[in-house]
């Protein structure tokens, strides 16, 4: 996808790993922008790992449901994520288990659909940046095609310095504009002293700003700096475009 085809601004949210809270951060940003009056879309090019609805027995994908809710249910789930697979595996592997393949053209077309629908688009990646998205495409390849500034979500605990710096280095070596990094606390019951020092340590080794530490609070709708000032996402994207 030529970047010139997508005229609206947007933010690509990637993780240092799976399970770091990309969807939580994506939905928080979408809620904030929506609450500020910005027509906001949410797009996840592919999603694997379905759950079962208790009452009906129907499958659903939690990430897709959360993203849909974050933009007030204004758009159908198939527009938020046009390719879903049941097994909790990388999309091309999950697709293969169903006798399918990830449609690479649809990955692009699905993003382009939002062009005339919203004024700002949140795009959430799959797993880490080098996770396979299709037979021939990694998440980082799709990000390159989209050409949005990148927001990195990292786990707040032990090991995140290495994971964060590796992710930053790969993105910088490929020429991506990186809007910043957010440390997300995904397991508050785990005793981990590194939470106190990780932001400072990461910042010591990179010029990419550590924007925020997000505590484990699943009721929070907005992301804040440690100063409690809201992040201006549109300005941040403009500064890194």
For residue 175, give every residue at least 6 positions away whose Cβ sits within 8 Å of its Cβ, in sequence order, or none: none
Tell me 192's DSSP state.
-
Judge whether 146 and 79 are in contact, CB under 8 Å: no
Element containing residue 98 per DSSP (H, E): none
Which of 22, 44, 97, 234 is an active site residue? 44
| DSSP string covering 21-37 | -HHHHHHHHHHHHHHTT
Angle at alpha carbon of residue 46, lines to 19 and 158, rounded to 5°: 15
Is 7 a residue of the active site?
A: no
Burial profile 131-152: b = 16 or more Cβ within 10 angstroms, e = fewer = bbbbeebbbbbbbbbbbbbbbb
Q: Which residues have a catalytic role annotated?
A: 44
């Amino acid at each position: 996808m030529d970047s010139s085809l997508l005229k609206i601004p947007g933010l690509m949210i990637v993780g240092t790993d799976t399970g770091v809270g990309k969807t939580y951060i994506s939905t928080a940003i979408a809620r904030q922008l929506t609450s500020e009056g910005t027509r906001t879309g949410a797009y996840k090019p592919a999603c694997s790992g379905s759950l079962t609805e208790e009452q009906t027995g129907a499958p659903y994908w939690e990430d897709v449901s959360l993203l849909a809710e974050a933009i007030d249910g204004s758009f159908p789930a198939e527009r938020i994520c046009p390719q879903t697979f049941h097994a909790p595996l990388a999309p091309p592997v999950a697709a293969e288990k169903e006798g399918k393949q990830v449609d690479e053209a649809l990955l692009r077309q699905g993003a382009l659909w939002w062009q005339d629908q919203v004024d700002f688009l949140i795009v959430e990646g799959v797993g880490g940046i080098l996770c396979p998205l299709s037979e021939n495409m990694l998440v980082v390849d799709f990000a390159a095609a989209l050409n949005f500034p990148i927001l990195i979500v990292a786990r707040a605990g032990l090991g995140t310095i290495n994971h964060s710096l590796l992710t930053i280095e790969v993105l910088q070596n490929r020429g991506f504009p990186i809007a910043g990094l957010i440390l997300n606390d995904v397991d508050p019951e785990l005793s981990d002293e590194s939470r106190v020092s990780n932001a400072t340590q990461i910042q010591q080794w990179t010029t990419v700003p550590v924007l925020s530490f997000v505590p484990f609070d699943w009721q929070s709708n907005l992301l804040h700096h440690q100063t409690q000032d809201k992040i201006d996402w549109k300005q941040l994207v403009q500064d890194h475009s």
